[in-house]
Amino acid sequence: MHLTCTQPQLYSALQKVNRAIPPNSPIPSLTAVHLQATDAGLLSLTGTDLEFGVSVTISAEVFTPGQALIPARIFTDLIRHLPPVELTLKHDEAGGEIIQISTANSRINLNGMDTSQYPELPRTKENVKFEIPINLLQEGIKLVSIAAGSEEINNVFHSILWEIDNENLNLVATDTHRLAFFTKKIEKPIESQKILIPSRALNELVRLLPSEQEKVTIGVGDSYVYFEVNNLFLYSRIVAGQFPQYQQVIPQGFNTRAQVKTKDLQEAIERAVVITREETKTRSYVIKIRVEHNLNISSQAEQIGNLEENVEALVEGPPLEMIINGRYLLDVLRVFPEEEINLEFLTSLKPVIIRPVERNNYFCLILPIKTR
Amino acid sequence: MKDILLCDLDAFFASVEQRDHPEYRGRPVIVGGNPEARGVVSACSYEARRYGVRSAMPMKKALRLCPQAVVLPVDMPRYKQVSRKVFAVFERFTPEIEQVSIDEAYLAVPGGRGMETAREIRRAVREELDLPLSVGVSANKLLAKMACELAKPDGLKAVWPQDVPEIIWPLPVNKLPGVGPKTEELLKKIGIFTIGHLANRTEREMTTKLGSYGKELYLLANGIDDRPLELIHEVKSIGREITFDRDKTDPQEILAVLAFLSEEVGYRLRSKRLKCQSVTLKIRREDFSTFTRSRTIREATDSDGDIYRVAKELFEQSKIAPPWRLVGVQVSGLLPADFRQLSLLGDAGREKEEKLLRAVDGLRRKYGKGVVHRAVVLKRQTRNVK
């Protein structure tokens, strides 16, 4: 391999690829970034932890095509500290895995790794392929990922359900204590499908998708899904497992409804949870909501003190009290772009639904806390 | 600043027996389990200690050392009753009491009143309850404890921070609370034999050699201890273990015992209205090697079934070879059980189990613990019948 490229392009690509590279791994080659230079004047950089992978392609002047595998952390730090000039990357003529990085003033030799150890990204085995507007994806993922567990494990409750039924894209997530649902009509009908994608991969996708582009191409295979736009390629393993029958748990109708300003409620709850946030696990962030003429929020902790907040609301239906995890409510309120929301209650021990007043393609439901 | 008292009832169980049976006074008394069933010494009178008998020693060994001893079974309900009376005396002197065990407590009293209060407490316990009590007085828990060790038996001693170099430093390093045989050996290797040797090293050296534990020891050796009294005796863990009268080799039988222990522990958790976040399994092999394995669970629980499932998993994964001498189940990470976050799934099952456990606990309270068990527990009993 022998090529030249510019430092800013290479560094920006490395930053993206690093999102998928684990700092430590029982498979040492996974802590490296894979480089592939082709005759077409392209340099692809790839990182993966086998669950999730990112590949970015940049333009380069390629003298000799080839590939290399370089420890990612050291390589990235070196490139970051080089000036924004043209760089030459080249295999050492003496052979072996040594990569030479040079500028007019610097010459660096890095010990690379054996490229045959590196896994291949599953790029071409898709069963369906289609396009989705990027802004739709970004909006949907941001709104529902709050309800998914965020640990880096591939588990149903740390994933987002991706469901296409002919002309709607539904995104659903639940960690069993809350559930978020987003739906939007897509322009062209697409083959129906239902897959589970780790929430972590989709959050990275939102972060990496270029907002200046309109659409992203999606390919769904048996065990992988990939997203491709311009020079960015991202893939994720599909989570095996059964997502709960979520339609069954969504309450139909309500007894009591309160319409409030998102910001008012958010600020009141931010204050309320300060009182209880340091309580032991089962009690932390617990607040009480009382709906009568207005919305009354209260919280207390024996060692700290107590608080009461009155939030102006438009209330329909009988009065009601609910104990709930205030942090779950904040998670929703913080991502809501709408100014006004409705809280819909059935009873004290049934899920409360939070939805924007002005639109009906998104809601989040939260299960309350039972006291004894 | 408050003065801290450590009050320790000398050879408590044995003293109660000698008090209630004048014929045992002046004779070696050992209270403990059955020597034939591997019982251990729970308490021994000072007369017995002269023969080398110590608490926690196997009864068989104790009887070899002191064959003429009066041997008595542990009568816990009575000792608890006496202990309550002693604590009632303490409460007349101060509300600030940390109960360490059935026979030991830290008391905080206004600064400067330590010695005087200690004398009065000792007199009251002697006159009203006819029991010997040793008291250590100082400015913190550590020094009070060490003063009490020096005061025993039936004595009173103060060790103030300024006395540390004179009184504490000449003592062997294993007299420092927290220094067991292993640490002692480690310290000896680096030339530390007395508490003074340790105190005269630097904090940095001790931290490098022993980590944060080394720093702690260094501070203790200098008489520095800022631990507050834990006034409401907070439960940190709940555990139950069984030493078998004969070593076991059948894993099925161990599972039955684990189920039994899980029921006991679950019952105690629920009666204290707590839930646990982790479960620890303890196994001792016939050669006394002891293993513990812990697991944290995703959602805090107070259910016998959950505790048993984790204990069983830990046992099956532990691969500790038989024969087994003891198994135990302990739960920790205790949380109040008054709030429960509802879940989209599985609440129906939870509710059902909660109802069942409430009913079972009611039966146990009314008719005794043995009245109802999980089926798997019964395997334990069939085996015994054979």
Q: How confident is the model at residue B235 (pLDDT cuts 50, 70, 90)?
A: low
User: Which chain B residue is nearest to residue A350, measuring alpha carbons?
Assistant: B342
| Three-state DSSP class for residue A108 | strand
Structure token digits, residue B291:
């293993």
In sequence order, what are the residues at sequence separation of 6 or more whose Cβ sits closer than 8 angstroms to the Cβ of residue A259? A313, A314, A315, A340, A341, A342, A357
Say if residue B250 is in the same domain as residue B314. yes
Say if residue B256 is in the same domain as residue B317. yes
Flag whether pLDDT at B108 surpasses 70: yes
Q: How confident is the model at residue B383 (pLDDT cuts 50, 70, 90)?
A: very low
Say if residue B176 is in the same domain as residue B247. no
**Domain count of the fold of chain B:** 4
* DSSP assignments along B296-358, one per residue: EEEEEE--HHHHHHHHHHHHHHH-PPSPEEEEEEEEES-EE-SEEE--SSSHHHHHHHHHHHH
Determine whether the interchain pair B345/A244 forms a contact, defined as Cβ–Cβ distance below 8 Å.
yes
B341 closest CB neighbour out of A174, A246, A367: A367
Chain A within 8 Å of B300 (Cβ-Cβ)? yes
Residue B199 covered by a domain: yes
Flag whether pLDDT at B233 surpasses 60: no
Instruction: Tell me the pLDDT tens digit for each residue of B347-360.
Output: 667 778 888 888 88
Q: What is the pLDDT of residue B344?
A: 83
Q: How confident is the model at residue B384 (pLDDT cuts 50, 70, 90)?
A: very low
Per-residue pLDDT, averaged over B121-136, amounts to 94
Write down the CATH number for the domain with range A128-248. 3.10.150.10
Residue B102 covered by a domain: yes
User: What is the CATH classification number for the domain harbouring B190?
Assistant: 1.10.150.20
| Three-state DSSP class for residue A322 | strand
Say if residue B324 is in the same domain as residue B343. yes
Per-residue pLDDT, averaged over B14-41, amounts to 91
Instruction: Tell me the pLDDT tens digit for each residue of B307-350.
Output: 999 999 999 998 888 899 999 999 998 887 778 888 887 666 77
User: Which chain A residue is nearest to residue B334, measuring alpha carbons?
Assistant: A280
Say if residue B97 is in the same domain as residue B196. no
In sequence order, what are the residues at sequence separation of 6 or more whose Cβ sits closer than 8 angstroms to the Cβ of residue A2? A37, A62, A63, A64, A66, A88, A89, A90, A91
| Three-state DSSP class for residue A222 | coil
Say if residue B284 is in the same domain as residue B329. yes
Determine whether the interchain pair B336/A179 forms a contact, defined as Cβ–Cβ distance below 8 Å.
no
Determine whether the interchain pair B342/A325 forms a contact, defined as Cβ–Cβ distance below 8 Å.
no
Q: Which of B36, B47, B104, B205 is catalytic?
A: B104
Chain A within 8 Å of B1 (Cβ-Cβ)? no
Burial A221-240 (b: 16+ CB within 10 A, else e): beebbbbbbebbbbbbbbbe
Residue B313 bears catalytic tag: no
Cα separation, A140 vs A145, in Å, equals 8
Say if residue B137 is in the same domain as residue B269. no
Say if residue B203 is in the same domain as residue B351. no
Is the pTM here over 0.80, yes or no?
Answer: no
User: What is the CATH classification number for the domain harbouring B109?
Assistant: 3.30.70.270
Residue B346 covered by a domain: yes
Determine whether the interchain pair A282/B342 forms a contact, defined as Cβ–Cβ distance below 8 Å.
no
Say if residue B6 is in the same domain as residue B151. yes
Q: Which residues pair with A232 in a beta bridge?
A: A56, A229
Flag whether pLDDT at B382 surpasses 50: no
Q: Are A57 and A231 in contact (CB under 8 A)?
A: yes
User: What is the CATH classification number for the domain harbouring B265?
Assistant: 3.30.1490.100
CATH class name, domain A2-117: alpha beta
**Tens digit of pLDDT at every position of chain A (372 positions):** 999 999 999 999 999 999 999 998 888 899 999 999 999 999 999 999 988 999 999 999 999 999 999 999 999 999 999 999 999 999 987 777 899 999 999 999 999 999 988 988 776 677 888 889 999 999 999 999 999 976 656 688 889 999 988 789 999 999 989 999 999 998 887 888 899 999 999 999 999 988 777 899 999 988 899 999 989 999 999 998 888 888 888 888 999 999 999 999 999 999 999 999 887 777 889 999 999 999 999 998 877 888 999 999 999 999 999 999 999 999 999 998 899 999 999 999 999 999 999 888 999 999 999 887
Q: How confident is the model at residue B107 (pLDDT cuts 50, 70, 90)?
A: very high
A244 closest CB neighbour out of B336, B340, B344: B344
Say if residue B362 is in the same domain as residue B309. yes
Among candidate residues B221, B254, B289, the one where a domain is terminated: B221
Say if residue B217 is in the same domain as residue B314. no
Say if residue B244 is in the same domain as residue B308. yes
User: Which chain A residue is nearest to residue B346, measuring alpha carbons?
Assistant: A176
How many Å from the N-terminal Cα to the C-terminal Cα in chain B? Answer: 64
Supply the angle between the helices B76-93 and B114-129 in degrees, to the nearest 10. Answer: 140
Q: How confident is the model at residue B363 (pLDDT cuts 50, 70, 90)?
A: confident
Instruction: Give the structural domain span for B71.
Output: 13-76
Chain A within 8 Å of B232 (Cβ-Cβ)? no
CATH architecture of A251-366: Roll (3.10)
Q: What is the pLDDT of residue B319?
A: 86
Residue B271 covered by a domain: yes
Which residues does chain A have within 8 Å of residue B277's beta carbon, measured at their own beta carbons? 281
Domains A2-117 and A128-248 share a fold: yes
In chain A, domain spans: 2-117, 128-248, 251-366
Cα separation, A316 vs A258, in Å, equals 7
Determine whether the interchain pair B341/A177 forms a contact, defined as Cβ–Cβ distance below 8 Å.
yes
User: What is the CATH classification number for the domain harbouring B69?
Assistant: 3.40.1170.60
Structure token digits, residue B82:
């006496």
Mutation target vs B (from A155, A158, A175, A176; most B CBs, 10 A cutoff): A176
φ/ψ of B121, rounded to 5, equals -65, -45
Among candidate residues B54, B76, B98, the one where a domain is terminated: B76
Mutation target vs A (from B341, B354, B358; most A CBs, 10 A cutoff): B341
